[in-house]
Amino acid sequence: MINKSMCSSGVVKENKLVYKVKATHFADETADTDKNRYGIGAGIGVRPGSFRVDGFRKSFMADVEAPSVRPPEAITIAIHRVRGLKGQKGDVVNTTIRVEFGEKTIGESPKVDCTLDSSAEFNYNATLNCTYDDPIALDEIANRPVVLTFIEVLPKEKRQKEEKTILLGQCTVDLLPLLKGETTQKYTLVINSLPGSPLEQIPPDFSRPEVDVTISVNDALLDESQLNDGNLFAITMESLYSPPDSWTQTGQQYHFVATLPIPVSGEKEFTLVYPSGQLKPPIDKELPNKQKKWAIPGSAQGPSQYINDSFISTSPIEDEDGDFKEKEDREHRSYAESEKNRVCWNTERRCYLEASAIKNFQDSVAKCRLWPVEIFRIPQASAGKGKKGRHYKEDHDASISFHGVAFVDLAPLLYPGVSKIHGAYKVYAYTDHLLNEKTGGKRKTGLAEEASKVAFNLLNRNSTSPSPKKGAKDEKKDLKKGRPGSNAQVRGDEVTQAQKSDTASEYDQQVPVNTEGQQYVDCKSYIKLEFALTRPLVPKRPPEELARRVAEYIPPRPMFPKRTDGATRAVEDYHNQVATVANLILDEFRELFSDEIKEGENETAGLLESRRHKLIYQLNSSGKYFAFKEQLKHSVVKIVREKYLKTTTFEDRQEFQTFLSELYVYLIDQMHVSLGSVLALEDQPPIPKPLTDSAQLKHFAREAEVNENFALAERYYQERIARDKLDADSWFDYGTYCLYVNDVTKAEECFKECISLDQKHIYGLLLYGVVCTMTEKNELAETFFEAATCVNPKSILAWTMLGLYYDAVSNEIGAEMAYMEANKLNNQAAVSAAKDVREDEVDKEKEEKKDSVAEPPEPLPDADTAQDPELIPSSEGGLSVPGPPPELIIPTPTSAANSAKSSQRNNHEKRPSVLKKPGAPSQMKGKEQGSSIHQSRPTSTQKSQHDTPQPTDENLEDMPLREPTPVPTWSVYMQAVDWLLEVKAVPFTERALAHELLLPTGGPTAAYYIALAHLMLQKREFADAEENLKEALQLEHQNPDGWALKGHVKYLTGDLNTARECYERTLSFITDASEMHSIYLRLASIYLQEARFSEAKSTFLMACKRSPSCVSWLGVGIACYRLGELSEAEDALSEANILNNNDAEVWGYLSLVCLNTGRQLEAEQAYKYALKLNLDSEELIEEIKRKQEEVGFGNPQF
């Protein structure tokens, strides 16, 4: 950044810049104000070892010509008019405006008279040249404001050589829009008063002085490629909270400095320094909307140091990205931000990152996600003069103490679509060993020494009474004498340069100690930061693009058939119009002759003819005949054009008459066809509805899966699709079945069909992504997983599945982002569920109060009972000691913790299922849901150490109880496991269970072992399933799902006695298992095999009562037949036959019943159907044949 006034040696001639090289090292220039444009200042970058070429730092190539770059671009700052200025003397103010950028004045306007009530036209332009041979130039455009200083020029008095001036006010102009591609930006800025200015006397209710300014360039500062490839990075240093207690407002005062590295090019890093931290007491409360300060304000003072319309963002703690965001940290944060000292910067530093810098930054974050932010303090310069002031500077130049470091996790900036992170980060005691360990060996030493030198020079230069400056020669003398110079002065508690190790092994051998910095850890200090980018480093595909790509891969199927044009369509339209007109005529006929028809007169031919004439007369006289004819005209014209292809006039009249005759005959024939299809002389019998609906067919299919009758299950799934081919859920369920039987190709086609019918079917999108992952179509899988999160951004399952996919492809950053979003939604669901519970309880209490008011008052107890508190009647009929009302009981920390533990221990006893469906916590109601929400911290009402008065008995009732923080009952992984087990997605289930095992919850739970056993059961690994169930039942011996699964394992391995015991124990529990139908069926079948027909009958009836099916009614029929209850057996078998008339075993037992009741015809028909359907039970066939021989009929072959 340079112009003619800012560079003494650079001259613009014919768009060529001539350079004059100075061979002075940059480190020796920091004390020179005019030469220090790039090296010092708040947030200024320091690049050691570089040289200056008249304001531009070049390499050591002094004799090499500069590369060809874009000529400088002139930035015009146009000051149009000023309103509302007030001077010291009189109403007319003679004003001039000084325009400054950085430390240089780039122009001063002519003097113009201004008044308080009118606007003054300045129309002055100042020019600033932007050069392109150094990335720092564009960085300064983003980071420095143009300062406008308004100066009142007083008239000369007698014997006064120069005019006297008074500073009225200032404002700052932001050049940032020019780096966003804008060529013109207009501002209306408020002029801020300076100390002692007449503008301070303007009443608050009066309008403030304003100035109209326009910044413009002829061509955009950045071309399209630079706009697309570059980025603007803003780092906001907010405040340090809970600092060491030794920091006070009295005694020696200090400046507080923060520093961090940032890349500005593809090779080098830039050191950002924030030197202006101020220690503020807790009585100095923070404003709700804190405005950001300029990192390099230049000559701006007072309110002008703040960036216009730029405020520090606030967000809930749970939405932050830092370290102190957990529930247990909220009390500490609340106390630290309201009751303790703090160090405030509230400064924003903007950086322009070119493409190479962005690549370098991304690579650095990917290799080491933790970014160091160092914090320390340096003493304030002495206000003394002469020798004393010089010695103070010599002794305290760049002296650092309380060296701490915070590690900011910048990995969220690599999440797709994330452009900002904001949070509170823990401050550690700085050591080189810690820095090397946290950054994975990428950074050996810190930036404190370098940053302290920069900060000290800036603060020393900006002080009102700066100390005498020490030149390079004095510094060399100091080094020779052994004095602590600017590069070596470190406090005794800090690690010195001599103590720093060069190798990792030395770090391991000797770990230095920073006792001063340890105070940060003891006080739980944290610093709030914000990192914001104009555009995300990793762009996120918008929902529209994802929907488009899904539609490209799987085109949506139209819900209605395509319209057919041409002759067929014309004839269909004619049929529809004829049917419509026929219905209208029929309505007219009924309206005219309904009374005659009701009287039941004999309908003779004459009467019918009379009615016809009356109807025709009514249609003609009312105009309806003409309307009907017009209604039919359009369809007739379409037939002529589309079927007969007649679009021109007939030249031959005979040909025209022939065509009319042919058309008339065709239209009459088609009219009869249409009338025959819509009118009938007799009522047609209605088509009977199916006896089973889609839900029942799905139940039958799942039942067949459990019984391992896969052919029957597939037939049920296919029947559901045949009934409604446009039902996406039917295709989805069939796809899950194909996935279960490992037919991945057919499953993929089913999920494709599901998505084509419903592009927003979230479960179809997820399972198609699973199938694509299994077939190694990773790019396609990512598209569908992301599309699911866009269809329902609040779906915990969708975000968890996306994270599991990223785990499968080793995308750690993406997986972390997805899991973070899923956990956030899970916490929100828990809070919402707790809120619903509280609202239900409040409504219930209100209803109870209303009922108690409506009831008549109970008689008062006698005097003896009233005087003795131990004899008050209780609600249970006895006597009890009265306690405080329930709403006044405040739980102590111990009781709250115990209640949380008991709630967690009894959690499985109060829910119907071990694995709850996703989103189930929000569906729980009443006390059952309240018991599943744990208290993460006890309520606390004692704050005597902060002089807070204790609540008394009078105001205890009025104090609101502190609500416990809800905690989700189920992790996001277990919710995903529940769904994945249901849809049989084995690979993702294993991955989700692995994540659940790694959670820091004190080891695997019973629910984890049960889910793992369920997975092993699906994989037919019975030994592993039994081992996991053993672990689960040791943790929760009364878990019904554990015993049910153990029964299934024993049943499938042939251990029927143990299976029966497990099933019976499951049924004995108060709480049912999550899936009871299969338990009833298998237990009843065991009873049948053991000839315990009465128990089998009752168990099968329980299954029929819960969810009837052909198998359950067949079991009832078999048990009744064996018990000799033939009538009941026939009824049960008939119910089974209604639900499935293709079951050969049902027909076989029906034949036996008919043989025993002597019905020959029915016995023979049932026997023939059993053989036709391939009855495969040899025992049943032999039993039927023996019965046939016994009764002498039943077999047609006899």
Q: How far apart are CA 1119 and CA 1087, in angstroms?
A: 9
Say if residue 4's pLDDT is above 60.
no
Calpha distance 1117→1123 (Å, rounded): 10
Least confident of 207-221, 382-396, 641-655: 382-396
Q: State residue 514's pLDDT score.
A: 82
Long-range contact set of residues 815-818: C-beta below 8 Å, sequence gap at least 24: 816/411, 816/415, 817/412, 817/415, 817/416, 817/418, 818/789
Q: What is the pLDDT of residue 615?
A: 85
Q: Are strands 254-263 and 401-409 parallel, antiparallel or unpaired?
A: unpaired
Cα 64 to Cα 21, 67, 388, 950, distances in angstroms: 11, 9, 47, 79
DSSP H or E run through 751: helix 744-757
Give the closest residue to 124 by CA, choosing from 148, 145, 108, 100: 108
Strand partners, 947: none
What six digits make up the tokens of 244?
């060491």
- What's the pLDDT score for residue 982? 92
Tell me how crowded residue 62 is: count the other CB atoms within 10 A of its CB: 13
Give 483 or 846, the one with higher predicted confidence.
Answer: 846
- CA 424 – CA 323 distance, rounded (Å): 6
Q: Are strands 879-880 and 872-873 parallel, antiparallel or unpaired?
A: antiparallel
- Higher-confidence position of 638 and 1022: 1022
Mean pLDDT to the nearest integer, 322-341: 87
How remote is the C-alpha of 895 from its chain's centroid? Answer: 35
How confident is the model at residue 740, as a pLDDT?
Answer: 92
| Cα–Cα dist 1114/1121, whole Å | 10
Whole-number Å distance between alpha carbons of 149 and 1181: 109
Q: What percent of the chain has pLDDT over 90?
A: 37
Q: For residues 139 and 663, what is the distance between their CA atoms, to the nearest angstrom? A: 84
Residue, of 1012 and 131, whose pLDDT is higher = 1012
Q: How far is CA 1177 from the centre of its chain?
A: 57
Band of residue 85 on the pLDDT scale cut at 50, 70, 90: confident
Split at pLDDT 50, 70, 90, the class of 1046 is very high
Two tokens, residue 29: 């220039």
324 pLDDT band (50/70/90 cuts)?
A: confident
Q: What average pLDDT does the segment 178-197 reach?
A: 91
Dist. CA 899–CA 896, nearest whole Å: 5
Q: What is the pLDDT of residues 728-772, one digit of tens each?
A: 999 999 999 999 999 999 999 999 999 999 999 999 999 999 999
pLDDT at 241: 93
The predicted-structure confidence for 1161-1186, as pLDDT tens digits, reads as follows 899 999 999 999 988 889 999 999 89
pLDDT at 1085: 94
The total number of residues written for the chain in this structure: 1198
pLDDT of residue 914: 39
Is a pLDDT exceeding 90 seen at residue 663? no
Which residues have a Cβ under 8 Å from the Cβ of 19 and sit 6 or more positions away?
A: 9, 10, 53, 54, 56, 58, 66
Q: How far apart are CA 149 and CA 126, in angstroms?
A: 13
Q: What is the mean pLDDT of residues 866-891?
A: 37
How much is the average pLDDT of 1024-1045? 92
SS3 state at 890: coil
Q: Give residue-wise pLDDT tens across range 1183-1194.
A: 998 988 888 887
Distance (Å, whole) CA 683 – CA 203:
91
- pLDDT at position 681, please? 54
Helix (H) or strand (E) holding 311: strand 306-311
What is the residue-averaged pLDDT of the chain?
78
The shares of helix, strand and coil residues in the chain, as percent rounded to the nearest 5, are 50, 15, 35
Is the pLDDT higher at 182 or at 156? 182
pLDDT at position 184: 94
Q: Coil, strand, or helix at residue 617?
A: helix
- Rounded distance, CA 10 to CA 3, Å? 8
Q: What is the pLDDT of residues 450-474, one digit of tens each?
A: 888 888 777 766 543 333 333 333 4
Q: What is the pLDDT, as a whole number, of residue 372?
A: 94
Distance CA 395, CA 1025 (A): 74
Q: What is the mean pLDDT of residues 920-931?
A: 36
Q: Give the pLDDT confidence score for residue 47 in this predicted structure.
A: 39
Residue 741 CA to residue 731 CA, distance in Å, equals 16
The top-scoring range by mean pLDDT among 385-399, 419-433, 857-871 is: 419-433
The confidence score (pLDDT) of residue 35 equals: 36
| Residue 235 or 632, more confident | 235
Which residue has tokens 């198998």?
A: 1111
Distance from C-alpha of 446 to C-alpha of 243, rounded to nearest angstrom: 21
At a CB cut-off of 8 Å and minimum separation 6, what does 1103 contact? 1077, 1080, 1081, 1084, 1109, 1112, 1115
**Do 918 and 975 touch, CB atoms closer than 8 A?**
yes
Could you give the percent of the chain with pLDDT greater than 70?
76
Select, from the ranges 255-264, 629-638, 763-772, 892-901, the one with the highest average predicted confidence (pLDDT).
Answer: 763-772
pLDDT in tens, 550-602: 888 888 877 655 555 677 788 888 888 888 888 888 888 888 887 776 666 66
Residue 500 scores a pLDDT above 70: no
319 or 502, greater pLDDT? 319
Q: 1178-1186: long-range contacts (C-beta < 8 A, 24 or more apart)?
A: 1180/1145, 1180/1148, 1180/1149, 1181/1148, 1183/1152, 1184/1148, 1184/1151, 1184/1152, 1184/1155
Give dist(CA 184, CA 218) in Å, integer. Answer: 9
d(CA 906, CA 1001) in angstroms, rounded, equals 17
* Residue 150: both structure tokens together: 């308004």
Work out the pLDDT band at 61, boundaries 50, 70, 90. Answer: very low
Residue 1103 pLDDT grade (very low, low, confident, very high; cuts 50, 70, 90): very high
1119-1130, pLDDT tens digit by residue? Answer: 999 999 999 999
pTM of the model: 0.71
Q: Side chain identity at 644, as an amino acid letter?
A: Y
**∠ Cα 698 1063 908 (to 5°):** 80
The string of DSSP codes covering 1151-1186 is HHHHHHHT-HHHHHHHHHHHHHTT---HHHHHHHHH
Evaluate if residue 805 carries a pLDDT over 80.
Answer: yes
Dihedral sign for Cα atoms in the order 469, 471, 473, 476: positive
Interval 1081-1096: pLDDT, tens:
999 999 999 999 999 9
Check the CA dihedral 627-628-629-634 and report its sign. Answer: positive
